[in-house]
Amino acid sequence: MEPNPAGSTWKRFVAVSRLAVILTIDVARIIAIANQKGGVGKTTTAVNLAASLAAAEQRTLLIDADPQGNATSGVGLQKETIPLTLYDVLVGNSDLRSSRQASIQFEKLDVVGATPDLAAAEVELVDKADRDHVMRGAVEVLREDYDFVIIDCPPSLGLITINMLVAADALLIPLQCEYYALEGLSQLLNTVHRVQHSANEKLGIDGVLLTMYDSRLNLSRQVADDAREYFGPKVFRNVVPRNVRLAEAPSFGKPIILYDIASVGAQAYMNVAKELIERTEQGDDGAQ
Ligand code: ATP
Ligand code: MG
């Protein structure tokens, strides 16, 4: 019989992950996926990393913090039918526990959705005295419910992103392997330093993930080399290749491992999830 590569990878993946569960971690690691540059793969990473973690039996909460709501629709939720979203949490109408949707496509994946009205939270927060800390208070009470909380940030460094960075243990920065990948990073890192000094000194960088990598292109290799030179071991060993299946999956409302588990995109995100679990185990999360 022909070997089934997808099946054997899957078995290995679950085995390693089970081991991680045994060794682990009874409070959540909160990871904000952030880069103010648009279209670099934040949402693709948030959805597929969260799904891969949940499939690996990690209790995972995916929070959509972008008014575009792409992570919400990416896991198959209908924005029109969600009763409570992150907007309600940030403006004080509700808490995260009441706003989460349980077991979305995976038993261990809960989701807090976002709709366009989240943009109004940015405005409504401005007048609050504790405007940077609202999310921190909201998420802290859920720490014991999860192994990982993954937050998909919007492409800006406004109040919503700041709230997510103040609430997070670390950020994960997706870097698109294209022209100007590193441009604007100093602005993001300045924001991280500001948050470290003013509100959250333990904020670390849990990794820089190279996305839309094309090994045939010098440009991709150049971006990877530059990133590894600058960030050293913080760059994930695994890279996410450019893969059309990853771009197709959201229109079916499915994470890649449910849409096409044999695709190179699915394999990449499972490997990234495994690497993240291993790094978290090793406590490899020092702030920069
Ligand atoms: P925004 O800043 O608007 O929130 P983003 O950083 O969240 O964008 P994504 O929405 O994840 O970026 O990706 C941008 C586009 O690139 C999407 O159409 C997505 O499907 C596609 N894409 C992301 N990663 C890959 C990949 N590895 N291969 C092919 N297409 C990809
Ligand atoms: Mg996005």
Instruction: Give me the residues paired with residue 29 across strands.
Output: 148
Residue 176 Cα: closest atom of ligand 1:
24
* Per-residue confidence band for 19, with pLDDT thresholds at 50, 70 and 90: low
CB 282 within 8 A of CB 29: no
Say if residue 13's pLDDT is above 80. Answer: no
pLDDT confidence of residue 8? 67
pLDDT confidence of residue 286? 42
- Report the pLDDT averaged over residues 214-236: 92
pLDDT confidence of residue 3? 47
Q: Residue 165: count other Cβ atoms within 10 Å of its Cβ.
A: 27
Q: Transcribe 167-227 into DSSP letters.
A: H-SEEEEEEESSTTTTTTHHHHHHHHHHHHHHT-TT-EEEEEEEESB-TT-HHHHHHHHHH
Q: How far is the CA of 102 from the centre of ligand 1 (A)?
A: 25
CA Rg, the chain, in Å? Answer: 18
Q: Residue 214: count other Cβ atoms within 10 Å of its Cβ.
A: 15
Share of the chain above pLDDT 90, in %: 80
Q: What is the pLDDT of residues 61-116, one digit of tens each?
A: 999 999 999 999 999 999 888 999 999 999 999 999 999 999 999 999 999 999 99
Q: How far is the CA of 139 from the centre of ligand 2 (A)?
A: 21
- Report the pLDDT averaged over residues 159-181: 94
CA dist 69 and 79 (Å) reads 8
- Provide the angle, in degrees to the nearest 10, between the axes of the packed helices 159-167 and 185-198: 60
Coil, strand or helix at 141: coil
CA dist 90 and 66 (Å) reads 12
pTM of the predicted structure, to 2 decimals: 0.91
- Report the pLDDT averaged over residues 164-168: 97
Residue closest via CA to ligand 1's atom 14 equals 39
**Which of 44, 153, 243 has most ligand 1 atoms within 8 Å of its beta carbon, as the pocket-test mutant?**
44
Consecutive H or E run containing 150: strand 148-152
Q: What is the pLDDT of residues 27-70, one digit of tens each?
A: 999 999 999 999 999 999 999 999 999 999 999 999 999 999 99
47 vs 8, which has greater pLDDT? 47
